[in-house]
Structure 1
Amino acid sequence: MDQKRAWLLVFAVFLLLTPKSAALSGMLVSVSIDHSSAGSRELIKVYGKVSDESGSPIQNALVSIQVDNPNGSTVHVALVYSSKDGTFKDEFSLAMGSPEGTYTIYITSSKLGYEDYRTKISFTLLFPDFSLLVSPSSLKIERGGSADCAVTMISKASNLTVELQVSGFPSGVEGSLNPSFITPSRASKLTLKVSSSAEVGSYNLTVVGVGGGITRYAPLEIEVIEGESFGFNVYLASILAASLAAGLAASRFRKRRIEAREKRLDREYLAYARAVAKLEELKARGEIDEETYNRLCKEYEEKLGKRG
């Protein structure tokens, strides 16, 4: 019995003194990651390859994957095996609201006859939140005219794509976006066209952006104003109406003057002509109606007749 114990002791000492690495081969693991937006989540894919020291692939190696968030909490654990060509793959997703910052992936590869291999790789996660900016944010557009403004996106996520729309168009106003999809490095031009029949006034439009499961809004105020040509035509029309009114009053004045040549009546007829011209002008502008115009003219004529 003592001899048996002695042999066991010698064998144990031999195991302790024998270098472990002498019986195990070396192992290497290469790792890469890719992440992209998928709706309201961020999809992360982990790729890798297990090989020996000579570069030959190692099949059926057990690969342990652990992912820690920026706070140090483990958010994902997986066990996968390497394929015939030594490659392995794993994927997971992080929901909106997960901590932003640096995530660390710990990789451990094991197989009988090989030394365990440990490595880690990190990636930075910024969720695709964004804001919209319209410049200028207010426009004055003449009836029958058009105007442009730029729509840009501000976001930390460089790979985010946002679809744009515009709502709140009044009758006679339309718009087009070019392009209708934008990224943080690419703006869109919004062209607004106002028809000649659009009503003058102020209107509030809304630019809507949808991307990464998020919807954001930006206001745009437009004011439809009279065009210069339209205003000039109105001015000419008012001048023409006033001229016609003055001509009519002068004709009446000359008729009255033929009937009475007295100096006093001339002054009164001139005052009457001016008053009638003013009434004609007010009528042409629509500030008095036909009934009021006729009534006032009649009153002036009656007063003048009594004095004559």
Structure 2
Amino acid sequence: MIAATTISRMASSQAPKVLRLRLAGNSTSQVKNNNYMKRYFSDKTKEAANTTAKESTSSSTAATTAAKEEAKKTTWWNNTAWWGTAGAMAGWGMSGAAIYDALESSPELISLNMTGVLLVYSSLFARWAFVVKPQNLLLAGCHITNVGAQMNQLRRAVEYKKENGKDDEVDDIMKKAGATAAAGAACVLGGPMVQSALVNANLGFVSSIAAAEAGPFTVHFWAPMSKWMISGASFMELDRPTEKISLAQYTALTMTGFFFSRYALLVAPINYTLCSVNIALFGSSAWHLGRKIKADFLS
């Protein structure tokens, strides 16, 4: 009995000590947990701050790059509007040249080959200027005007030749004009059906060409091709007598070739065919212009 009482007293005296040890252990563990949580949240805060800083830097870099690209576009060399306007003004010069020649020059100076080509050329480019991106209404207007001016030049040339007994030459020209008009109408009417058939046939490269934005079934292809006819007409008459060269017309053609060589690379879709033909046009027209200036002003 005495032993049991003694043991009970000893247990009672030891209980507070054990409790204190347990509480102390719990307190230490809690402190460790708190320190761990503090470090965890501190690391997460730093990580979030670093991520935000990186995103901010990335956004700043992207904004700077975009600003540089925008600034690059606004320079005259990459400014589509500038080159388009300059090309249109050169085109207006061509229309003005035809009107000037109609008022001041003899009809014997009119080249029927060049006049016919210019009619086709301006008809196609009037359409091209409406559908190209960005749209160029100033250019479209000048080509519509040029169609009317060249029609008047054609009328004057035909009347002159008839008055001078060259009916056979006029008949030949009219036959060629009729054949050209018929071929053009057939292409316009039948082109969409042929294009659809080629695209749906899955012929690989052929189908890809048929479906291209500036492919052979679009005005983006045929407008430059008409300009090749102008260059071809100039190249075929490299020895043309200088007295039959229109100074105003070839000045306008030379400037047109110069401006459109660059403009063709800034529009959508980019038109490499248009660029190459304008380089050729610039060269051939500048040749005739140089001969005319030399003959009239430097000899």
Tell me the TM-score normalized by structure 1.
0.28
| Higher relative contact order, chain-length normalized (CA < 8 Å, sep 6+) | 2
Tell me the TM-score normalized by structure 2.
0.28
Structure with bigger strand share is 1
Structure with bigger helix share is 2
